[in-house]
Amino acid sequence: MSKIKFPQQISDLLKESEFFAPIRALADRVGQILSDNQMPFFPDYTDHGVNHIDSVLKSKIDLVPDEVWEQSKSESNPRLLTDVDAVIMIGATLLHDIAMHLRVHGFRELIAEGSRFKPVDWFNQDHEGHIADQPWHALWDKYEREARKFSARELTNIIGEKEAAIWKFDGLPNDDGTWTLNDRLIVGEFLRRHHARLAHEIALYGFPGLPQGSGEAEFPAMGTAGHELKLLADLIGLTARSHGTSLRVCQEYLKSVPQYPKSPRPMGAAVLYAMALLRIADYLQMDRKRAPAVLLQLRRPQSPISVQEWTKHLAVQHIGEADDPRAISVTVSPSVKLSTFLQLGDLLKGLQRELDHATAVLDEIYGVHSARGLDQLQLAIRRVHSNLQTNAFQQRLPYVPRETGFSADPNLLTLLVEPLYGKEPSVGIRELVQNATDAVRALDVWCKDRNVSVDTLNLPALGADVLVDFVQHENGSWMLRVTDRGIGMTSDTIQQYFLRAGASFRQSSAWVKDFVDNEGNARVLKAGRFGVGVFSYFLIGNSFRIWTRNVDDLTSGHYFEVSAHSQTIEIQRKPDLPVGTTVEIDLYDDALIFEKKGNTVAARISSRVFDWYCLNWPKVVMRQIDQSGVTILDQGINMDFHIDQRLSRWRPLRIDGWDSIYWSTEFFRQHFSRDIPFLCNGIRIGHVIAHDHIVFSRFDWPEEIQLLCPGISVFDSSAKLPLTIQRDSLLDNKLPFIDDLARDVIMSFIAHALVCGPRSQYESMVNARRHPLSLHLLMGSKHSESSVRKYLRPPGFYYGLNRWVCTESDFIPTDPWLWNQLKKPTCLVIGSILSSIIGYGSNEYDTFVQKLTTLESHVSGRTMWNLSSSAVDFQTSEVMKSADVFIIDLFEELVEHGVHDLGQLDSAYVAVAAAGDTSVRHKYQRLTEVCSPWSRQSCSETGFQYHEIFRDMPPSSIAVEYVRAMWDLPSSKLSKGVFFCAELKTKICDTPESMLAKIWSECLGATAIPFDPDARKELVNYGRKHAGLRGHIEMWEEMQRCGADCYSPH
């Protein structure tokens, strides 16, 4: 075992001293621990063994001026340094890093409740420059929660980039033998942070993992009664602690503790001198002796911080005398890399600052005691020189020795605002509102954590959580004021995050500590993400003013003003502010659209362009304040959840990894718009069109579902939704949970068909009682012939309209596999293409449908599919002008390809009759060889004429009869267009292929929905057994019981 050597000068101080034996015993026991060289929590660290202790002691000798040693000899009277000083210097050096040699069982003892290791009095309280020490078990619990939330960068610095990419800390295993290297490195980071404090407590209470005592397998607890060094134990520990604690804090401790009366030499020791020597001597251990290259290769540290430390030590070739007798010279290898050059430069600057600080403190403490010679207790060196700092060295380097990286001119931020957000002032309002609501949510979590009622806080009285005021001054100019009852900002938050582009507060350690749980999940919904939103304020005005007070700030709030060209921003303290934040912006002349409308009504309408917020909590109120008074600007969308979730128009979608997701059909019922609501954390995702209205962002929606995409509201505390930096759309229009959403919508559709679907063949034939998201073919006068063909022509003949196909006893939605479940050989497809159509609900149309359902079709075993629709209203006859080409082409393709939603065609027959004075002419005699030529048939008695075409099927009398029934309707004589009926036979589809068919099979099996109430009830109960379908069934049942409207309104 290597024995720790006492330098001669220190040994001389201990001659004939009563303290020699106990300090030698301590050194030997520490030497045993260090020689074992087990550092399970610091396997990558440079030398912290016996050699390091010897080197620090030697450096201390060199740091003490020769005259001080001279006046400390035994013959000097008084002696400047005594045996007490020697004991403190040795003891502190022995213990200053010993905590890094803890073993696992010692760590377990340290953090156990009731541990003998506890905060030292005075240090267990808050003081200037010092936060109160906590018990070790509480300190570890706090750190463990933090470690679970480490960012990728923080974790990389501890365990390395490769491991950080695949591993997260999830608490220490109960079985110590199963700890991984990463577990030990996480513990090492905890010990590194607190090893200076632990050195103090080891001096008093012993070494964790070893019993107290002086025996072979024990460690002395010098602070216990009867130990020879008891009177000096605290000073030894305090000095060891000082290498990681401010000298000023240690000085205040000495002044405050009763056993140390105000004296420059408590217990006869120049303690602050010993502290200064330890801090500087430890700093000087930076050369390659402490980090041999061979050990670097053997240890291969995985932490980048450890690699940097090894590299720095290897780059220092020599530390020795300089030309200046009060300086040292540090020689650095000329092959040093830029990163090491910069780090060594910082290290040398830090050493110089430490020398300056120590010199100032020593002069302050001892300089006034010249009569006692204490003013000589100074450092032998005052300056640090290095070839690293010389121009000659730097000129020889193969790179420019300066830190270089991206930086931004202050003007860049304002220049980027318009290209980033567009010249749209409402985006600035969106950012203001989302910042305000984020702050309210954060305060809510803060209150719950501390069991504090928000009503007890000094918050502004607003009548809302966020108040947005558009205020018109007497001169006609406008100001925007946004006030919130939120958590408020500290001065640090303002400086480090609010005013720094790209510095998102949600990534800060302060945010993680308070608002991220142990699993790393955010506990606060936060709409802001990217740290650039504040610069959008300049879209509204040239400057803004902010008053803010953080809830934890018990003394004052802050006020500051910012303009687009501010270079220095003064943050003023304001003692009387309430908790929360107020932002005021004087608006540009063109920033308010509604100001140009000239009256309050127009103002309220136009204010929709500022209506980004869509939740009922936090409550946001917008007002317009002008000479006419105060006008409330209504919130367009209010995502208000019903107390009974089954009655809510917003349906929950539960997916692991997401806070909550809801989808809705209500927007279509109210507005008949395909501008699909898309919300994230209560804020609309979309962009402004022509300064007039907000258009929601779109995302890819599977067409095969044949239902409209629902409105979406995502609650995303972890910022997983892939939004663009403008927050107006998804990246690549991809919704991460689109498959889960589509499945849930289809479940809703199936449950709706079971509970609310058609109750008779008649209702099925008129396509009644459809799901609110059912698609409709909606065409106005602006639609061209080509756009009509896109929706009507085969193989997408009426594709996507999701209508009912029925027999006299049951029905299904159109799908090849589902249609086969009706077990009928053919399907009759009836419909019309008219410039004006008989409307649903009219007596004439009711009679017409009733007549169809009494025809022979249900007896002959056919199924029926009605393609007549009140939504097919061309309003003008523009499309019909070319009806002779358009209609014939359409039905020729129908005979050749069939209908997409019924599957692959086997054979077909089509009969077409003209309405009114429509002329149907044949452009082609034959489309393909598989089809017959067109032929015209007529009835001379009634004047009824029809055209027919078929493929592998004889003429269908029932199809002709259906066309005749439509043609006989009185109003048909007033229309322009055609009636048609096709009898189709398709190839058998044995397996479900579409998403709808697969989920239907999963939930209900191979069955259609019966009209018979008892049979329907039995099928509903069968569907209720499916866990995914059950909730949707119960919701539609409850809505029916409550009389809610459950159907598509169109």
- Domains of the chain in start order, with CATH, are 8-386 (no CATH), 417-633 (3.30.565.10), 645-740 (no CATH), 776-998 (no CATH)
Q: Determine contact, residues 82/268, Cβ cutoff 8 Å.
A: yes
Q: What is the DSSP string of 922-941?
A: -S-S-SSTTSPPPEEEEETT
Report the share of the chain in percent with pLDDT over 90: 36
The burial class, CB within 10 Å (0-12 / 13-18 / 19+), for 120 is: buried
- DSSP-derived pairing of the beta strands 629-633 and 620-626: antiparallel
Cβ–Cβ < 8 Å for 707, 749: yes
Range of lowest pLDDT (163-167, 421-425, 892-896): 421-425
- Reading the block at residue 202, the tokens are 């080891």
Question: Which has the closest alpha carbon to 429: 688, 172, 199, 617?
Answer: 688
Cα 895 to Cα 910: distance, rounded to the nearest angstrom: 7
Containing H/E element for 660? strand 660-664
> Could you tell me if 635 and 613 are in contact, meaning their C-beta atoms sit under 8 angstroms apart?
yes
Residues in the chain: 1050
Mean pLDDT in the chain? 81
Q: What is the mean pLDDT of residues 997-1010?
A: 95
Beta carbons within 8 Å of 34's beta carbon, 6+ residues apart = 4, 48, 49, 50, 53, 98, 101
Residue 600 has pLDDT above 60, yes or no: no
Rounded Cα distance between 1016 and 569, Å, is 72
What pLDDT does residue 531 have? 53
Smallest CA-to-CA distance from 108 within 136, 135, 134 is with 136
pLDDT in tens, 801-860: 667 888 888 999 888 999 888 888 888 888 777 665 444 345 665 666 776 666 654 445
Mean pLDDT of 766-793: 57
Cα(729)–Cα(472) distance, integer angstroms = 33
Q: What is the pLDDT of residues 93-102, one digit of tens each?
A: 999 999 989 9
The share of the chain scoring above pLDDT 70, in percent, equals 78
pLDDT band at 412 (very low <50, low <70, confident <90, very high): low
The pLDDT score that the predictor gives to residue 773 is 86
Residue 896 clears pLDDT 60, i.e. is over it: yes
What tens digit of pLDDT does each residue of 1015-1035 get?
Answer: 999 999 999 999 999 999 999
Structure tokens at 1043: 């009389």
Q: Is the pLDDT of residue 722 over 90?
A: no
**Lowest-confidence region among 229-238, 385-394, 542-551, 592-601:** 592-601
pLDDT exceeds cutoff 90 at 321:
no
Calpha distance 1026→1018 (Å, rounded): 14
**End-to-end alpha-carbon separation of the chain, Å?**
92
Question: Cβ-count burial of 939 within 10 angstroms (0-12 exposed, 13-18 middle, 19+ buried)?
Answer: exposed
Mean pLDDT of 363-382: 89
With contact defined as beta carbons under 8 Å apart, do 359 and 273 qualify?
no
DSSP string, 775-800: ------TT--HHHHHHHHSTTSTTTT
pTM: 0.69
**Across 323-347, average pLDDT:** 87
Strand, coil or helix: 838: coil
Helix axes 738-756, 995-1004, angle to 10 degrees: 60
* Residues 501-539: tens digit of each pLDDT: 665 555 556 666 666 666 666 666 666 654 566 777 887
pLDDT at 690 over 70: no
Report, as an integer, the average pLDDT of 875-898: 57
Please tell me which of 227-236, 341-350, 397-406 the model is most confident about, judged by mean pLDDT: 227-236
Helix spans in 103-179 (H): 104-111, 136-148, 152-159, 161-164
How far lies 830's CA from each of 308, 585, 966, in Å?
Answer: 79, 63, 9
At 37 the pLDDT is 67
Largest interatomic CA distance in the chain? 147
Summarize the confidence of residues 867-888 as an average pLDDT: 40
Helices (H) and strands (E) in the chain, counts: 33, 27
Triad 216, 222, 225: Cα angle to 5°: 105
Please calculate the CA angle 252-257-262 and round it to the nearest 5 degrees.
70
pLDDT at 554: 84
CB of 870 within 8 A of CB of 839?
yes
- What pLDDT score does 27 carry? 94
Specify the pLDDT at position 848.
67
Confidence of residue 875 (pLDDT cuts 50, 70, 90): very low
Confidence of residue 638 (pLDDT cuts 50, 70, 90): confident
Q: Is the pLDDT of residue 292 over 60?
A: no
Residues 787-807: tens digit of each pLDDT: 444 444 444 455 556 678 888
The one-letter code for the residue type at 436 is: A
Q: How confident is the model at residue 897 (pLDDT cuts 50, 70, 90)?
A: confident
What per-residue confidence (pLDDT) applies to 927? 53
pLDDT value at 783 more than 60: no
Which of 676, 741, 797, 655 lies closest to 995, judged by CA?
741
pLDDT tens digits, 203-223: 999 999 999 998 888 999 999
Encode pLDDT of 444-479 as tens digits: 999 998 999 999 999 999 999 999 998 988 888 889
What pLDDT score was predicted for residue 606? 46
